[in-house]
């Protein structure tokens, strides 16, 4: 195996800001046999591309010296296998079959492979003080970082009391209090500098604190160190919310499942469930795994996973998702995905992967900060040195101001402004079934001004429904009863539609005698001694002449894009049944929502022109029909050439070329693996309005990022001026930096509360 042929993911604990990630990235890249590194703050992970000779334990120790804990999630997995993480390889939960596609969603995704191994191994450097507010089992106040902050605070309080009672102890008490907090910070600064990151916030803090002591400002130095620790703690708590919002999905999974074996049941751990096991889900239970209902009927609350407020009816053959709640009857479910590959595990894995992909804005700020931090140190040095040298000013005053500028210049708030917002938006989107492959996709979605939709399975349900029953010689109910009798037991999509309509209207169905198919024409059978023939209008006219009024009605229904079947009873026309693949319930609202956002919609379909135009007219959009896959791809290319930023939405294999050709490819969640792999984003629950939701979320996120950058740079600019003028000092400087970081993070976290566009 060649160098860089392996990939290992690590769980990193104690990482809460972009500068943490930058230090880890820089240090790990210096390790021999490492060729590439990707660090995700919110996911709390690091992905390392490397050769066979890499010592994983040594790499973990190096990360530990920086103040973090690193543990392999999937040691030395082949890179080719791990590459599959990037794709939306949806398995059984996307198994809503379409009669015109026949997609089989079989094997489970490898996107959650990273979750199959033990995720937590303790690093040998357990006691290192660091940014210990990453993924953790206990409350924040039990972390080593919180303990350090509390200890430093107590030491500071004791120093103040001693200074009041024994004034002679004043500098020494504050020096001790400062040392409690500064020593771990200085160690991290030293290890960072030794591993290629000399310009870190720890370096700035160490220089500022030591400098303050030199100019006899020990009291201020101690307070500044304490405020710095408090700020880091607040920053970590706020940042952890984005991580927790997705990880909280894992808590939806029940701990146990009731498995049926050899006629009896036994309780087993839910994580031990394997494909094809049979589980019983009682009323009130959470579904323990993705699966298909074998028997039983019930209403299932899917709100925890899909966000849908109305419970869905589930019966034999329907799919159920892990984490949803059974409300009424007992369901027997065949497991179709193991615990590591179920819907919830897959969403978590996909969002973590997406968070490792940086947005263009974030990449720019990362590059900017590499020059910004050294620049701040140079400016601070000039402020401290030039006035005394050139103007004869007092050294202690200007060194003090230079140290304050060092603290003000900390880039934490700036570098976290974008990733915090991106992470919160990806998390909020995922909780509504909007999956985006990274920050770049999220950022670009807001630019969309033309959306090209596939028809079948995207704008429509992908299965026909009965729309009209026209009585001729028999009444509507009788026509439906006789037609359903002919179709009883058939799995043909048109037959399923007729039987579903009969069930919905409470029409009893008794299978016809002597039932059979007439190749290419229709079905025949006998009910109550009457010979029946359900056929296309052309085949029916060969048996019984259709009068002009009936022919006009059939033509009118055809013009509406409906398929018409004629029921003949003996020698007369009993009635007509018209069916059509109807638009999704939210299609009209979805297209209207896009229009309000300034994005116009067009339908691209391989279906016949008459049907396409009828559906498009009902949705208020343009239609282009009878297209081959290459035609769709060509049209998308033409739209882009006209200066449009195009999103293509589809679910079939024939959509893959157009999805790849568009600026943004969006797969409907019920689509094929090929469409999901090719797409940049996925609407997991098949709602048309969710395409508009994606665009709206993107624009909201970009507004949030702009606000964050304004807060970060604005506060720095104000305090830089006031510090140079001598109005503010070290305390306000550190409060400005900490305040900016917490404000930026809190502002980004507002995106977690996003619920989507309101229904009009």
- Residue 22, in any domain of the structure: yes
Question: Looking at 549, 564, 582, which one is the last position of a domain?
Answer: 582
- Tell me which of 156 and 659 has the higher pLDDT: 156
pLDDT over 90 at 704, yes or no: yes
Residue 124's pLDDT is 26
* Contact residues for 168 (Cβ-Cβ < 8 A; gap 6+): none
Residue 250's pLDDT is 67
- Residue 500, in any domain of the structure: yes
User: Mean pLDDT lowest for which of 265-274, 585-594, 623-632?
Assistant: 623-632
User: Mean pLDDT lowest for which of 80-84, 129-133, 566-570?
Assistant: 129-133
What CATH number does the domain containing 44 carry?
3.30.70.100
Is residue 646 within 8 A of residue 450, CB to CB? The reply is: yes
- Residue 680, in any domain of the structure: no
- Residue 1, in any domain of the structure: no
Residue 640's pLDDT is 92
Q: Give residue-wise pLDDT tens across range 319-354.
A: 888 888 898 789 999 998 888 777 677 666 666 665
Residue 25's pLDDT is 87
pLDDT over 50 at 664, yes or no: yes
Residue 433's pLDDT is 82
Q: What's the average model confidence in pLDDT over 150-171?
A: 90
- Residue 469, in any domain of the structure: yes
- Tell me which of 1 and 237 has the higher pLDDT: 237
How many whole angstroms separate alpha carbon 573 and alpha carbon 72?
A: 72
What CATH number does the domain containing 543 carry?
3.40.1110.10
3-state DSSP of 315-353? CCCCEECCCCEECCCCEEEEECCCHHHCHHHHHHHHHHH
Q: What's the average model confidence in pLDDT over 256-273?
A: 89
Q: Give residue-wise pLDDT tens across range 108-152.
A: 333 333 333 333 333 322 322 233 333 444 566 777 778 889 999
Q: What's the average model confidence in pLDDT over 248-256?
A: 75
- Residue 323, in any domain of the structure: yes
- Tell me which of 149 and 212 has the higher pLDDT: 149
Q: Which of the residues 454, 655, 673, 737 is marked catalytic?
A: 454
- Residue 487, in any domain of the structure: yes
- Tell me which of 40 and 387 has the higher pLDDT: 387
- Tell me which of 735 and 480 has the higher pLDDT: 480
User: Mean pLDDT lowest for which of 162-176, 312-326, 355-369, 398-412?
Assistant: 355-369
Q: Estimate the crossing angle of helix 730-749 against helix 395-408, to 10 degrees.
A: 10
Of the pLDDT bands very low, low, confident and very high (cuts 50, 70, 90), residue 444 is: very high
Question: Looking at 25, 42, 72, which one is the last position of a domain?
Answer: 72
Question: Looking at 50, 72, 94, which one is the last position of a domain?
Answer: 72
- Residue 560, in any domain of the structure: yes
What CATH number does the domain containing 297 carry?
2.70.150.10
454 is catalytic: yes
State the pTM of this model.
0.68
How many whole angstroms separate alpha carbon 680 and alpha carbon 700?
A: 19
Domain range for 12 = 6-72
pLDDT over 90 at 448, yes or no: yes
Domain count, the chain: 3
**pLDDT mean across residues, the chain:** 80
* Helix %, strand %, coil % of the chain (to 5): 50, 20, 30
- Which H helix or E strand runs over 436? strand 434-436
- In the chain, % of residues over pLDDT 70: 81
Of the pLDDT bands very low, low, confident and very high (cuts 50, 70, 90), residue 479 is: very high
pLDDT over 80 at 603, yes or no: yes
How many whole angstroms separate alpha carbon 222 and alpha carbon 499?
A: 78
């Amino acid at each position: 195996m060649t160098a860089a042929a392996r990939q290992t993911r690590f769980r990193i604990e104690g990482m809460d800001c972009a500068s943490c990630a930058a230090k880890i990235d820089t240090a790990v890249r210096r390790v021999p046999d490492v060729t590439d590194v990707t660090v995700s703050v919110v996911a709390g992970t690091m992905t390392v591309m490397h050769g066979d000779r890499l010592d994983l334990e040594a790499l973990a120790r190096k990360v530990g010296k920086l103040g973090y804990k690193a543990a392999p999630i999937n040691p030395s997995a082949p890179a080719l296998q791990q590459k599959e993480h990037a794709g939306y390889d949806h398995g059984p939960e996307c198994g809503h079959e379409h009669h015109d596609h026949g997609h089989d969603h079989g094997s489970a995704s490898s996107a959650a492979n990273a979750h199959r191994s033990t995720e937590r191994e303790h690093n040998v450097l357990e006691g290192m003080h660091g940014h210990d507010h990453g993924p953790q089992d206990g409350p924040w106040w039990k972390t080593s970082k919180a303990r350090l902050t509390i200890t430093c605070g107590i030491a500071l309080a004791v120093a103040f009391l001693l200074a009041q009672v024994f004034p002679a102890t004043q500098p020494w008490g504050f020096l001790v209090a400062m040392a409690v907090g500064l020593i771990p910070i200085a160690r991290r600064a030293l290890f960072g500098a030794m591993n290629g990151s000399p310009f870190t916030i720890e370096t700035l803090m160490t220089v500022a604190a030591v400098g303050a002591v030199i100019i006899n400002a020990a009291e201020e130095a101690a307070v500044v160190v304490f405020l710095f620790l408090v700020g880091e703690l607040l920053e970590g708590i706020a940042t952890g919310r984005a991580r927790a919002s997705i990880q909280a999905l894992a808590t939806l999974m029940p701990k146990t499942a009731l498995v049926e074996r050899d006629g009896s049941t036994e309780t087993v751990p839910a994580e031990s469930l394997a494909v094809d096991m049979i589980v019983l889900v009682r009323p009130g239970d959470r579904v323990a795994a993705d699966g298909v209902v074998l028997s039983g009927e019930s209403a299932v609350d899917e709100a925890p996973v899909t966000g849908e407020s109305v419970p869905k009816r589930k019966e034999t053959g329907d799919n159920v998702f892990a984490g949803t709640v059974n409300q009424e009857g007992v369901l027997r479910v065949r497991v179709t995905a193991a615990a590591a590959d179920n819907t919830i595990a897959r969403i978590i894995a996909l969002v973590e992967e997406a968070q490792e992909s940086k947005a263009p804005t974030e990449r720019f700020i990362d590059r900017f900060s590499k020059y910004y931090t050294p620049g701040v140190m140079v400016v601070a040095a000039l402020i401290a040195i030039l006035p005394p040298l050139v103007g004869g000013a007092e050294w202690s005053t200007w060194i003090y101001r230079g140290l304050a500028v060092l603290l003000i210049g900390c880039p934490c708030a700036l570098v976290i402004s974008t990733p915090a917002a991106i992470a919160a938006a990806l998390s909020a989107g995922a909780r509504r079934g909007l999956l985006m492959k990274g920050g770049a996709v999220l950022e670009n979605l807001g630019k969309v001004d033309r959306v090209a939709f596939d028809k079948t399975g995207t704008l429509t349900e992908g299965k026909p429904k009965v729309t009209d029953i026209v009585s001729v010689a028999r009444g509507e109910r009788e026509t439906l009863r006789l037609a359903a009798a002919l179709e009883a037991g058939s799995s043909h999509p048109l037959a399923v539609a007729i039987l579903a309509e009969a069930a919905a209207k409470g029409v009893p169905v008794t299978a016809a005698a002597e039932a059979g198919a007439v190749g290419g024409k229709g079905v025949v059978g006998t009910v109550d001694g009457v010979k029946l023939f359900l056929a296309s209008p052309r085949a029916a006219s060969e048996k019984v002449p259709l009068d002009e009024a009936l022919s006009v009605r059939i033509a009118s229904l055809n013009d509406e894009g409906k398929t018409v079947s004629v029921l003949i009873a003996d020698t007369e026309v009993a009635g007509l049944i018209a069916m059509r693949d109807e638009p999704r319930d939210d299609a009209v609202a979805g297209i209207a929502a896009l229009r309000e956002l300034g994005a116009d919609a067009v339908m691209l379909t391989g279906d016949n022109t008459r049907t396409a135009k009828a559906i498009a007219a009902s949705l208020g959009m343009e239609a282009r029909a009878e297209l081959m896959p290459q035609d769709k791809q060509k049209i998308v290319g033409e739209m882009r050439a006209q200066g449009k930023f195009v999103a293509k939405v589809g679910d079939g294999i024939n959509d893959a070329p157009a999805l790849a050709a568009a600026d943004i490819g969006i797969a409907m969640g019920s689509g094929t693996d090929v469409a999901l792999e090719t797409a940049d984003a996925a609407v997991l629950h098949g709602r048309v309005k969710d395409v508009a939701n994606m665009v709206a979320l993107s624009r909201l996120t970009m507004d949030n990022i702009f606000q964050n950058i304004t807060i970060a740079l604005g506060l720095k600019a104000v305090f830089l001026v006031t510090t140079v003028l001598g109005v503010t000092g070290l305390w306000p400087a550190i409060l400005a930096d900490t305040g900016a970081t917490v404000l930026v993070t809190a502002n980004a976290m507002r995106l977690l509360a996003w619920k989507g566009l309101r229904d009009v």
